[in-house]
Amino acid sequence: MMAAAATASGDRTALIMFLVFVAGTLVITYFSARKSVGASAYFAAGRRITGWQNGLAVAGDYMSAASFLGIAGMIAFNGYDGFMYSVGFLVAYLTVLFVVAEPLRNAGKYTMADVLAYRLKPRPVRAAAALSTLTVSVFYMIAQMVGAGTLVRQLIPGVSYEVAVIGVGILMVVYVVFGGMLATTWVQIIKAILLMSGSVFLSILVLGKFDFDLGKFFSSLTAIPSTGANGEVITRNFLTPGLLFKNPWDQISLGMALVFGTAGLPHILIRFYTVPDAKTARASVVWAMIIIGLFYIMTTFFGFGAASLLGPDYLKEHGGTNMAAPQLAYELGGEIFFAFISAVAFATILAVVAGLTISASTSFAHDFYTNVLHHGKEHRPGEEVKVARITAFVVGAAAIVIAILLGPSVNVAFLVGLAFAVAASANLPVIVFSIFWKRFTTTGAVSGLLVGLLSSIALILVSPDFMKDAWFPLKNPAIISIPLGFLGAFLGTFLSREPSAEKLFAELKVRGNTGLGAEKASSH
Amino acid sequence: MMSPDRNARDLTPETAAPTDIAPLGRPAEKPAHERTGEEDAALADWEVIEADPDFIGLLKSKAAFVAPATAFFVVYYFALPIGVGWYPELMETRVWGAVNVAYLFAFSQFIMAWILAGLYVAVAAGWDRRAAAVIAKFQGQGGDQ
């Protein structure tokens, strides 16, 4: 096999093609974003977005580097257990559809802070919500930085992973801070289309290697050789569960993080405010589920295909776990396809990072700095924007440092799984209680957010991947930290009383279920 | 809403910020999504609507679908990790060529999710009509709508 040539020999063709593709994507997205959004606010423009367009945008937001680079690598190295990520990422949308999408859309709220501040005391809940949004965003960004770092290291010979991460990180932060926001709806739509086309093409090429015979394809997975820890060659059936998760509780905990975490992700929740009514909100979830579902089914072909056609040993030598999909593209489609897939992955990372940085920094600047520290008043005009920019730098720097400490061999899907665990533990309990529980109080919201946030982070830090002789045996903390988040929210509520919040429950219930008042709000 | 010259001085990056920045300290209205329940209390007679039989019927009809559907997908989904974790022999049984029960069960989760989502959309169309009826009934009452 000769894929190594793309990276080791100093051949610049792939790099040049990559830059051309990235530049092309940026130009296309820049013009389409400008044309369709113009000077008017994103959300107002979003109200004209149709169901399938919003569905594509949701899919674009969701299919980050983790889905493409991460899951492909997970499956290529661990077989069936990696595919569990694909399943969890899709089923999660049922939680979004059944529990949160419509009440949030109908009530006219688009961030968790908005929902909480509606009935509860705005200052403390906005502060706690900002903290949790910031944390989830940093976790999500670390994964994207690791992905971008490995990609660039592979494309530019002689650049170390550390330099690649710092370079890419600075580029992204500068771009977000000074260049403004690119991750608008249209950017995500175009990105989703490119990613889907790339995946379809890659899957077809894989199946072509097996004469388009599914039976032959699956048979090839029953004996994948790889080198064990002591240098011995082991042959494993990649369709057998348990190659990665020796402990069944690991699977359950990961499943909980994925299925309950999506409904707590800030950049997904916001998408349901961009459509004109509840019907379109529903339609967009369904469109997103169709696209995302097809994409995750295709991970079967390019994930298992990388295992079968290239093998774990080869991939370990050539970029590691996060480079399975691009390496497969090189093997099957040559340099140009490799460059295309890398460019799509990179554009994906860029768009997701831009969205996350903006969401983290504005929520901190607005919800925490201005609302909490300055009692809702800007001391000087533009102060809030300045704080948002500084926050963006700090968040970016934190993600860069952690990404370097973790190194290139950490799978990005695994890292995003941790972000989902934090979102599920901190955000989901308070969102659910504030929509469905009349007696819910400010104390309950703050304690639920903090308990979920701190317990999930603490358990991650003492888990096997971050600590030798780990105190906590599972790779993902969700199975413990989600119940703790609920418990924190419950106990905080139980120990306090807030008649004003109870009084407003009728209003939230009526609005959340009928949409009364939301249309009026939209004319704003 | 805001006049252009006001906008010119307002440096708020208004595009795509998930928390959109309220024009704090600036002479403009709070964006709708940031208004609290108290600020919108005059919009309608919320308690009256809450007690309305049509509204209660709507809630019951929603719960009658959402509660069992949620219970079903949670059970069906977690049956997969439980199955592969504790019943490996069953899950590794080959069904078609090399394809085993575990893979087919995982694949069926996609179909399950799509079917439930489709059912939800079909059922929810009825809720939209009932919600519209409730709104029509109370339109113009209590508030400035």
pLDDT digits (tens, 9 = 90+) for A95-139: 988 888 888 877 777 677 888 888 888 888 988 988 898 898 888
pLDDT at B48 over 70: yes
Residue B21 lies in a domain: yes
B121 vs chain A: nearest CA distance in angstroms?
Answer: 7
pLDDT at B71 over 70: yes
**Nearest Cα residue to A442 out of A117, A111, A110, A104:** A117
pLDDT at B16: 34
Who's near A82: CB < 8 A, 6+ residues apart?
A: A71, A73, A74, A75, A76, A244, A303, A413
pLDDT at A114: 80
In this complex, do A377 and B20 lie within 8 Å of one another by their Cβ atoms?
Answer: no
Nearest to B33 among A90, A273, A279 (CB): A273
Q: Are residues B27 and B53 in the same domain?
A: no
* Confidence band for B46, pLDDT divided at 50, 70 and 90: confident
**Is A81 strand, coil or helix?**
helix
Q: Looking at the complex, does the CB of residue B96 fall below 8 Å from at least one CB of chain A?
A: yes
If one compares A401 and A524, the residue with the highest pLDDT of the two is: A401
Q: Where are the alpha helices (DSSP H) in A156-277?
A: 161-179, 185-209, 214-219, 248-261, 266-269
Q: Tell me: the pLDDT tens digits for B83-104?
A: 998 998 888 888 888 889 999 9
Q: Are residues B79 and B16 in the same domain?
A: no
Domain that includes residue B124, residue range: 46-138
Asked whether this complex has an ipTM greater than 0.85, the answer is yes
Q: Tell me: the pLDDT tens digits for B94-134?
A: 888 888 999 999 999 999 999 999 999 999 988 888 888 88
**For chain A, first and last CA: distance in Å?**
60
Residue B65 lies in a domain: yes
Chain A interface, best mutation among B33, B45, B49, by max A CB count within 10 A: B33
pLDDT at A275: 67
How many CB atoms sit inside 10 A of residue A304's CB?
26
Residue B145 lies in a domain: no
Residues of chain A with pLDDT > 70, as a percent, come to: 85
Q: Are residues B10 and B76 in the same domain?
A: no
**Is B94 strand, coil or helix?**
strand
Mean local confidence (pLDDT), A221-225: 84
Task: Identify all chain A residues contacting B135, using CB atoms and an 8 Å cutoff.
Answer: 514-516
Q: Are residues B69 and B116 in the same domain?
A: yes
* Average predicted confidence (pLDDT) for chain A: 82
* Dist CA A131 CA A447 (whole Å): 13
Length of chain B: 145
If one compares A373 and A240, the residue with the highest pLDDT of the two is: A240
Q: Looking at the complex, does the CB of residue A124 fall below 8 Å from at least one CB of chain B?
A: no
Mean local confidence (pLDDT), A262-274: 76
* Dist CA A206 CA A242 (whole Å): 25
| Choice among A144-153, A181-190, A219-228, A458-467 with the minimum mean pLDDT | A181-190
If one compares A232 and A380, the residue with the highest pLDDT of the two is: A232
In this complex, do A241 and B21 lie within 8 Å of one another by their Cβ atoms?
Answer: no
Q: Tell me: the pLDDT tens digits for A140-168?
A: 889 888 988 888 888 887 888 899 899 88
Listing DSSP states for A425-462 in one string gives HHHHHHHHHHHH-TT--HHHHHHHHHHHHHHHHHHHHT
For residue B98, report the phi and psi dihedrals to the nearest 5 degrees.
Answer: -85, -10
Number of independent structural domains in chain B = 2
In this complex, do A504 and B121 lie within 8 Å of one another by their Cβ atoms?
Answer: no
B106 vs chain A: nearest CA distance in angstroms?
Answer: 7
Q: Are residues B29 and B62 in the same domain?
A: no
pLDDT at B140: 57
In this complex, do A109 and B33 lie within 8 Å of one another by their Cβ atoms?
Answer: yes
If one compares A47 and A231, the residue with the highest pLDDT of the two is: A231
CB of A120 closer than 8 Å to CB of A445:
yes
* Dist CA B91 CA A80 (whole Å): 12
In this complex, do A508 and B106 lie within 8 Å of one another by their Cβ atoms?
Answer: no
Who's near A441: CB < 8 A, 6+ residues apart?
A: A120, A492, A493, A496, A497, A498, A501
Q: Looking at the complex, does the CB of residue A80 fall below 8 Å from at least one CB of chain B?
A: yes
| Domain boundaries, given as residue ranges, for chain A | 5-31+42-243+270-514
CB pairs under 8 A between A and B: 261
Task: Identify all chain A residues contacting B121, using CB atoms and an 8 Å cutoff.
Answer: 282-283, 286
* Dist CA A203 CA A200 (whole Å): 5
pLDDT at A449 over 80: yes
* Dist CA B18 CA A68 (whole Å): 24
Residue B57 lies in a domain: yes
Fold of A5-31+42-243+270-514: Sodium/glucose cotransporter (1.20.1730)
Q: Are residues B16 and B66 in the same domain?
A: no
pLDDT at B76: 96
pLDDT at B8 over 90: no
Token pair of A198 as six digits: 């790339």
Q: What is the 3-state secondary structure (H, E, C) of A145-182?
A: HHHHHHHHHHHCCCCCHHHHHHHHHHHHHHHHHHHCCC
In this complex, do A181 and B66 lie within 8 Å of one another by their Cβ atoms?
Answer: no
Nearest to B47 among A252, A385, A506 (CB): A506
Q: Residues 38-67, chain B: which have Cβ within 8 Å of A?
A: 38, 40-41, 43-44, 46-47, 49-50, 55, 58-59, 62, 66
pLDDT at A39: 33
Residue A339 C-alpha from the chain's centroid: 23
In this complex, do B117 and A286 lie within 8 Å of one another by their Cβ atoms?
Answer: yes
